[in-house]
Amino acid sequence: MEPVRVRLYFLIIITFLSGVFLSQLKSDDASLIRIDNKTYYGSKERSSVDFPHEKHMQMDKGCTACHHDYRGKINILKLESLSEGNPATRCITCHGKYGKARERHHLMQAYHRLCIGCHSASRGPVLCGQCHDSQGVDK
C-alpha cells in the first residue's frame, strides 16, 4: 500500500477515535452535578464535589436510594416530583442548617451519612480527597 494511503487511513481512524473519546467526555460532563452550597457553608475546609448523577443512576438502586421524604420511617417521596430544576430535589431544601425538624440531619451530616454509608457498602470512595477535589477549597 502507498505511504500516502496508509497515512490517510491512519488519519481517518485517529479522527474517528478522537470523536468517540470527546463525545464520551462531553456526555459524562453533562451528568455532573456540582454540590457546593456556597450560600449555606460560606467558607469551607474542603472543595465542592462533582457528583456523577448518571453513573449513580446506573447502579440500579433506584431514585429513592438517595432522594427521600420520610414520614416516620416510610419514604413517601413521589417519583414524579424528581424533575430537573425542582428545588424539592435538592438536599438543602430539607437539610438546611439544622433541618426542618430536630430529627433531620443537617446538610453536611446528611451528605456524609448517605454517601459514605452507601460507598462503604459498595466499595466506593470513602476518603475525603476521593470525592472532594484534592486541589483544595473552591475560590
Interval 96-137: pLDDT, tens: 765 555 556 788 888 999 999 999 998 899 999 899 876 655
53-57 mean pLDDT = 89
How high is the pLDDT of residue 25?
A: 43
pTM: 0.65
Q: Where are the alpha helices (DSSP H) in 52-127?
A: 53-57, 91-94, 107-122
Question: Which of 68-77, 86-95, 118-127 has the lowest average pLDDT?
Answer: 86-95
How high is the pLDDT of residue 74?
A: 93
Q: Is a pLDDT exceeding 80 seen at residue 8?
A: no
The C-alpha angle 131, 49, 133, rounded to 5 degrees, equals: 60
Distance CA 88, CA 137 (A): 27
Average pLDDT across the chain, whole number: 77
44-59 mean pLDDT = 86
C-alpha R_g of the chain:
21
22-49 mean pLDDT = 68
* C-alpha cell, 106: 443537617
